[in-house]
Amino acid sequence: MKRRGIPMKQILLSVVSAALAAALLCSCAPFQIASKVLDESDLADALEQELEAASAQAVQEVQTSDLTRRTYTTSQNITKVEIEEVGANLTIKTADTDEVRVTYIEPSAQTLYAFEVHGSTLKIRKLGRLENMSSTPATVITLPARAYENIEINADNAGLTLEDLDVRNLEVEAKNLSLKMEESTAGELSVNADNAAIELSKMTAKKIEIEADNSVVHFDQTQASAYACDLHNGSIEGVLIGRNDEYNIKVSARDEYTNLKTNGNTTAQKSIDFSVDNGKIQVRLLG
């Protein structure tokens, strides 16, 4: 014999009746919703609606767990940017715009980024990371095209691309980093990294300072008044704009692994100080 299903409302009526009977036996007050006493049928309807709403909410939470692209903007006069980034591909560039714009991806029901503006400083913090992703979503920060006082980036497991920037002081501290900086101008560029691939392409700076372990530094037509690069287990390679006699060159590396030699030109106004422990230096000056 096929059993017929019992309607939800009938089940709720039974539950409500039992509850009311228990309330009467113990002289308890009857059930009230929004200060209105309901009969058994009304109360059953109300409970059924609450169950349906709870069920719908649960479905909505599952559906909104998909990734959503969001945009943050501010028209504040930003001169300093501080970024704490974990596990993402990050691009910072400038454009002909009057506002700072950040486009990023996060789960619809989860907040991964926090944005704060203090005076002229924009602080961007990543609160978590996306797990089980076949590829890392990109975060793009677009700044108005003007000079900036300071940009500070603290990043782990990240790919950084910096384009067309003009900044007085740029600091990068990272682990497991891929950094590419191109067509940019910096007063001082400072990089402290572990397990990094660093490429500086067609950029100009007063000073470039890099301290890294297990890393490769590649210069592509880079021009600076002072270079200070200290690597452990790595290499320094590429092309610098300038002539040997313009620089006081100091090199610390095994002779067979370097083509650049110390020249003792202590009267030079510019300097190159390259040190590689357990690695090579293959750098050419193009003047």
pLDDT of residue 168: 98
Q: Tens digit of pLDDT for each residue in 85-121? A: 877 799 999 999 999 999 998 888 888 899 999 999 9
Residue 211 lies in a domain: yes
pLDDT of residue 133: 54
What percent of the chain has a predicted confidence (pLDDT) above 90?
Answer: 64
Q: What is the pTM of this model?
A: 0.75
- pLDDT band for position 126 (50/70/90)? confident
Q: Does 224 lie in the same domain as 113?
A: yes
Q: Which residue has the higher pLDDT, 125 or 110?
A: 125
Name the residue among 35, 45, 36, 43 with its Cα closest to residue 17: 43
Mean pLDDT on 73-93: 92
Q: Does 59 lie in the same domain as 109?
A: no
Tell me the three state secondary structure of residue 12: helix
Residue 3 lies in a domain: no
Residue 44 lies in a domain: yes
Residue 69 lies in a domain: no
Q: How many CA atoms lie within 13 A of 118 on its CB side?
A: 4
Residue 15 lies in a domain: yes
**Residue 176 and residue 194 in contact, taking contact as beta carbons nearer than 8 Å:** yes
Does residue 187 have a pLDDT over 80?
yes
The torsion region of residue 179 among left (phi > 0), alpha (psi -120 to 50) and beta comes to beta
Q: Does 159 lie in the same domain as 124?
A: yes
Q: Does 269 lie in the same domain as 154?
A: yes
**Residue 245 and residue 287 in contact, taking contact as beta carbons nearer than 8 Å:** no
CA angle 139, 142, 143 (to 5 degrees): 140
Which domain covers residue 34, as residue numbers? 8-63
Domain count, the chain: 2
Q: Does 243 lie in the same domain as 222?
A: yes
Residue for token digits 């500070």? Answer: 152
Q: Tens digit of pLDDT for each residue in 266-281? A: 999 999 999 999 999 9
Point out the domain boundary residue: 41, 63, 85: 63
Q: Does 252 lie in the same domain as 127?
A: yes
pLDDT of residue 213: 97
